[in-house]
Amino acid sequence: MGGTADSWVGYRREGVADLARLTGEVIDHLDGTWSSDPVAATSIRTIRSIAFSLSTTWMPVLTRIGADTSLTEWGAGPPPLGGWTAPQVRGVPAPLVPPVTGGADAVATWWSDLADEDRIELIERHPQLVGNTDGIPAQARNRANRIRMAADLEALGLREAAGTLTASEAQILTNIRRADRGVAGNDDHHDPLTEQAVGGQLYIYDPAAFGGDGRIAIALGDLDAAEHVAVTVSGLGSDAGTIGSEQSQDLYVEARHASGDSVAVLSWMGYDAPSYSTASGEAADIFDEGVDVIGVLDQDAARAGAILLAADVAGLHVMRGGRHPHLTVIGNSYGSTTAAIAADEEDLGADDLVLTGSPGAGDAGVADDLTTGAEHTWVGSASSDIVTYLGETGGWTPQDTLADLIPGVEQLGDDPSEDSFEARRFRAEGVDRHGGGPPGNADDHGDYYDEDSESLYNIAAIVSGQYDLVVEAEHRHMERLVDIDFELDLDLTPFTDQEVNLFPDDSEADRDPVVMTHQT
């Protein structure tokens, strides 16, 4: 092992004490900055996040600096200026610092060259360098992130017990506890074929990211070794505090039964999904109340998330060396927009892409625009799911303005279930659907992962590469304006008549849903 980070100089006790006092004043100032106005919510979260970082990251450094024996306390004379040069990470030997250039490939090479004892030292003593670093195997990241999570739970739990938890810290603690339950739930899950414990992996752990919404990804199964890897991307209103393990467990079970191959499901809440709430701050029904001015629902968050999604998926491939899994990305609701943009603009490294409950596929006009192409781009749109009618249609009709009629909602792209998009649509009618056909309802938007559903059956078949088992559905078809003109003999007056169908034809509404499962 090479040199250590002992080339620094030292500190002046009074100066550092002043710095700690000033830092405390900044924290107090930020904690005292508040507004209950809903349009200020994002800014307030930013403020809380910064106060949290100052109090949990920097105050301990400043208040315990005298206990650091690697530092020299300067006397009254001038400090020995001239300073130090790299390494950049405090107290970590240079060879144990992951390379900062070369991306995940460089990290993977560096990791594979480390001795076992160095890897263990990194995981146990510097887990922050391991937990979220692409290129490091999932098992190592998992161990590091669990160490970090346990430490955070203890630290924030103590503050909670002492009654000193700030609002932002409380939100972060909620995220951590949800993540903890999600990992524990996966740890306890047993494989349906072997009856052995499957095990969970805490693959990404950053509970304070995005102003307190958090960035978390939890796997069921072994991301390092599984033959089939599914990455699920959630949508509107989801954050680290809502991450759960039930959906991934249901998908895991169905996918295992579909093929018998090994499977891992990564529940990825790795981007800042749009939040929505009423003016009073309560969760809102988007269709009753629209999206609040806190955040207009447009493609911006999806576009930012697409970059992160593509990078994380690339990291999954890199960490496995040449042993690439069959990888499926499944975007649900707004997450489908995020996933589609990643496949359109960010070179998403997925073999299959599944879009369920999609309000739009970003700027892609046809499935062939996506990295997965028309053959491996799949769409699950229940005929009774109102969200799936928000997407733009293949022809221009007044329906294209539906999204614009909902306050705060902008177009999120084409409806991928239409014939004009040329993706492969599979059956996804909910067994308990509330009536079929457009305009549908909001209740049937959340049924795509239901047990024994057509949707889960088909997603599991795709995830496990059993394409022959997928039960496909007819596309939706939107009559184009020229067709309407012809039928109406160029008389546009009836175009505004209520009898003109403003929604696409969907034959899926005309049949009864079927209970489906790969479990026999």
Partner 1 sequence: MGATAQHLRDRALELRAVAARLERAPLLALHGAAGPDTWQCPAADEFLLSIAQYQARLLDAADDLVWQAIVLDRMAEDQEAADAVAVADPGWR
Among 29, 323, 434, 511, binds partner 1 (CB under 8 A): 29
Residue ranges of E strands in 131-276: 200-206, 215-220, 228-233, 263-269
66 binds partner 1 (CB under 8 A): no
Q: Which is nearer to partner 1, 77 or 322 (CB)?
A: 77
Q: DSSP string covering 268-309, please?
A: EE-S-PPP---TTSS---HHHH---TT--BSSHHHHHHHHHH
Considering only residues 1-20, where is the footprint of partner 1 by CB under 8 A? 5, 8-12, 15-16, 18-19
Q: Rounded to an integer, what distance in angstroms lies between the CA atom of residue 445 and that of residue 426?
A: 16
Q: How far is the CB of 337 from partner 1 (least distance, A)?
A: 23
Q: Which is nearer to partner 1, 57 or 501 (CB)?
A: 57
* CB-CB contact of 430 with 392 (8 Å): no
Give backbone dihedrals phi and psi of 395, rounded to 5 degrees, phi first. Answer: -120, 160
Q: Strands 200-206, 215-220: parallel, antiparallel or unpaired by DSSP?
A: antiparallel
Q: How many CB atoms lie within 10 A of CB 486?
A: 11
Nearest to 222 by CA among 148, 139, 288: 139
CA-angle at 38, arms to 37 and 43, nearest 5°: 90
84 binds partner 1 (CB under 8 A): yes
Task: Give 90's contacts (C-beta < 8 A, 6+ positions apart).
Answer: 5
Q: How far is the CB of 10 from partner 1 (least distance, A)?
A: 7
Structure tokens at 99: 């390379």
Residue type at position 338: T
30 binds partner 1 (CB under 8 A): yes
Total residues in contact with partner 1, by rule CB under 8 A: 46
Q: Which is nearer to partner 1, 58 or 467 (CB)?
A: 58
240 binds partner 1 (CB under 8 A): no
Q: Rounded to an integer, what distance in angstroms lies between the CA atom of residue 330 and that of residue 340?
A: 10
* CB-CB contact of 166 with 59 (8 Å): no
Among 4, 23, 128, 242, binds partner 1 (CB under 8 A): 23
106 binds partner 1 (CB under 8 A): no
64 binds partner 1 (CB under 8 A): no
Q: How far is the CB of 5 from partner 1 (least distance, A)?
A: 6
Q: Which is nearer to partner 1, 132 or 201 (CB)?
A: 132
Q: How far is the CB of 115 from partner 1 (least distance, A)?
A: 24
Pick the piece of the chain touching partner 1 (CB under 8 A) from 33-41, 302-310, 386-394, 477-485.
33-41
Q: Rounded to an integer, what distance in angstroms lies between the CA atom of residue 244 and that of residue 493?
A: 51
Q: Which long-range contacts (CB under 8 A, 24 or more apart) does 115-119 make?
A: 118/1
Pick the piece of the chain touching partner 1 (CB under 8 A) from 58-66, 120-128, 252-260, 480-488.
58-66
Among 67, 81, 100, 162, binds partner 1 (CB under 8 A): 81
Residue with tokens 């599914």: 230
Q: Which is nearer to partner 1, 171 or 249 (CB)?
A: 171
Q: Rounded to an integer, what distance in angstroms lies between the CA atom of residue 343 and that of residue 423?
A: 13
322 binds partner 1 (CB under 8 A): no
112 binds partner 1 (CB under 8 A): no
Site string for partner 1, 286-305 (x = CB under 8 A): -------x------------
Q: Rounded to an integer, what distance in angstroms lies between the CA atom of residue 377 and that of residue 348?
A: 12
* Contacting residues toward partner 1, per CB under 8 A: 5, 8-12, 15-16, 18-19, 22-23, 25-26, 29-30, 33-35, 37, 39-40, 42-43, 46-47, 50, 53-54, 57-58, 61, 65, 71, 78-81, 83-84, 87-91, 293
